[in-house]
Amino acid sequence: MSTDTTPPCKPFGFALRVYWEDTDAGGIVFYANYLKFMERARTEWLRSLGYQQHSLKATAGGMFVVSETAVKYHQPARLDDRLWATAELADAGRVSLTIAQKVFLQTDACADTLLAEGTIRIGWVDALSLKPSRIPSDILEALK
Amino acid sequence: MSTDTTPPCKPFGFALRVYWEDTDAGGIVFYANYLKFMERARTEWLRSLGYQQHSLKATAGGMFVVSETAVKYHQPARLDDRLWATAELADAGRVSLTIAQKVFLQTDACADTLLAEGTIRIGWVDALSLKPSRIPSDILEALK
Amino acid sequence: MSTDTTPPCKPFGFALRVYWEDTDAGGIVFYANYLKFMERARTEWLRSLGYQQHSLKATAGGMFVVSETAVKYHQPARLDDRLWATAELADAGRVSLTIAQKVFLQTDACADTLLAEGTIRIGWVDALSLKPSRIPSDILEALK
Amino acid sequence: MSTDTTPPCKPFGFALRVYWEDTDAGGIVFYANYLKFMERARTEWLRSLGYQQHSLKATAGGMFVVSETAVKYHQPARLDDRLWATAELADAGRVSLTIAQKVFLQTDACADTLLAEGTIRIGWVDALSLKPSRIPSDILEALK
């Protein structure tokens, strides 16, 4: 499936395809859905490092929750477009992480167009109290 | 807010407005979203009878889950349209209910246009085992 | 319908109810959906001033597009919660507006809890070229 | 990416992963979202046959619209689950098609569990009048 081929011209990222569900009556991808695209990329990035979110609760006693999002929209994506969403650690604190993310229009020529860029802050919370707590050191090490 | 006025020409129902989030690149409401509209109407219908879904688990030891949906799409809805979604009991078994639902385009003239109609089957499951079980008799009585 | 009652303790805003569609497996409202809630409030705010988005294209030759969003999440909302989303002009340029928005948990006691706050930048684009252009003066006046 | 590997034990289908956006407060995939999963599979099936939906309007003067959906939900899917959605032609008329679709929980052992099955009816409409019209013969031949 071509949507899933890592293009040689980008570092770690995640391939996406735009479906009807992602678009709105303006004929383009609904802006709120870029947060979904970015989350899919973050999830796959964590998975590539060995962490599945549904099992963190059991294995690490906590989970990540989104505490802040900021997105700039540069160009619209359209139905059937192939996208490429990246995720990389921008900053790591003791209880929260800041992830820098970009969504590109993916073309065969590698001359990808930047569609949107986001800064997502996620905090670690204790599974029981749901209160902010220290990110387990093994996770922090793996992400760095 | 005009979206919330019960029109004199319909029985129990729920008023809705179409926002960007509901539409797709075809310029109309994305068909899967009628299931959301119908669920909002079912939820408000249950609430009008005294049942809030989040508290059924604690008070009645179980919850309703959707086991089957069937929807026919007659006419499209568009951005900013006012809709009217109805819900009524079509059939009641011991472990499941069938709800008949309609979504109309709401106009001031009461000459409403039928946009979609659905049949939704919901089953009662035990909160712990998640297995089908008998609908509590007080709920069954209230819905009839 | 109680969800639609303007509480006496807030300025202009829009009442919402949390349905299953809005939640995620964490048991709370999915963070991206606050952008939807905020947009509903912006849309109703514009409508209250006499502007319907679907007709701006025909009457004013352009439309608003979202160019930037920033949201901070303070407290989670849950199934069946009643929310209250506000929208007010924070800044007005010649081609774009900045809207300040808040989402509260709505309680009968008016001691509402702030759940999320956002800053949404929307730009006016020409309907044909889709290029940034000057916001029509009548719209700008009405919003101020 | 493992989500995209065609398992040797199934005919044509499309691999999916469950993300937070797909789930609800019940801890499982929100039932309306299976319609999205099925549509992604239909879209990829059409694409594999050489048809991209966004270009049909220009090349064939029309498009497919969903006129009827029926879904039975057998087992729930959960966060991080790998799914497999199939699409095959069940019936072809002159103006509409019926597509049979299934969504499986994908496991490495090929002992996949059926989660949901749907019957989706799509009609061909003229791009200008939006009225039902005959499906172009080349498309009909390709799908059979």
CB C15 within 8 A of CB C5: yes
Contacts of D49 (CB under 8 A, 6+ apart): D142, D143
**DSSP states along A11-36:** SSEEEEE--GGGB-TTSSB-TTHHHH
Measured distance CA(A1)–CA(D5) in Å, rounded: 8
Which of D71, D101, D117, D122 is best to mutate for the B interface (most B CBs within 10 A)? D71
Query: Chain B contacts of C43, Cβ < 8 Å?
Result: 17, 19-20, 80
**DSSP states along D55-69:** HHHHHHSEEEEEEEE
What distance in Å separates residue A80's CA from the closest CA in chain B?
11
Query: Chain D contacts of B35, Cβ < 8 Å?
Result: 31-32, 35
Give the pLDDT score at D144.
83
pLDDT at D41 over 60: yes
Measured distance CA(C46)–CA(C64) in Å, rounded: 11
Which of D4, D34, D46, D56 is best to mutate for the A interface (most A CBs within 10 A)? D4
- Tell me which DSSP letter residue A105 carries: E
pLDDT at A104 over 90: yes
Taking only the tens place, the pLDDT of each residue in C121-135 is 999 999 888 899 999
Q: Domains in chain A and their CATH numbers?
A: 2-143 (3.10.129.10)
Q: How far is CA D30 from CA A94, B17, D73, in A?
A: 34, 22, 11
Give the pLDDT score at D6.
46
Average pLDDT over residues B94-116: 88
Measured distance CA(B53)–CA(C27) in Å, rounded: 13
Taking only the tens place, the pLDDT of each residue in C64-88 is 999 999 999 999 999 999 999 999 9
Query: Chain C contacts of A71, Cβ < 8 Å?
Result: 68-70
Residue D18 C-alpha from the chain's centroid: 16
Measured distance CA(B29)–CA(B76) in Å, rounded: 7
Of D19, D43, D55, the CB nearest to A43: D19
pLDDT at D8 over 50: no
The chain A residues in contact with chain C (CB within 8 A) are 25-26, 31-33, 35-36, 39, 54, 63, 65-73
> Predicted confidence band at D53 (pLDDT cuts at 50, 70, 90)?
confident
Exposed e or buried b for every residue in C38-49, given b needs 16+ CB within 10 A? bbbbbbbbbbee
Taking only the tens place, the pLDDT of each residue in A38-88 is 999 999 999 999 999 888 888 999 999 999 999 999 999 999 999 999 999
CB B12 within 8 A of CB B45: yes
Give the pLDDT score at C109.
63
- What percentage of residues in chain C have a pLDDT greater than 90? 73
Q: Is the Cα torsion angle C85, C86, C90, C91 positive or negative in sign?
A: positive
CB D67 within 8 A of CB B73: yes
Measured distance CA(B99)–CA(B119) in Å, rounded: 6
CB D106 within 8 A of CB D15: yes
The residue type of C110 is C
Average pLDDT over residues B73-91: 95
Strand partners of residue C91: C98
CB B18 within 8 A of CB C43: no
Contacts of B63 (CB under 8 A, 6+ apart): B53, B56, B57, B124, B125, B127, D26
Measured distance CA(A15)–CA(A105) in Å, rounded: 10
Selected residue with higher pLDDT from A7 and D52: D52
Give the pLDDT score at B11.
63
Give the pLDDT score at B1.
34
Q: Is the Cα torsion angle C27, C33, C35, C40 positive or negative in sign?
A: negative
The residue type of C27 is G
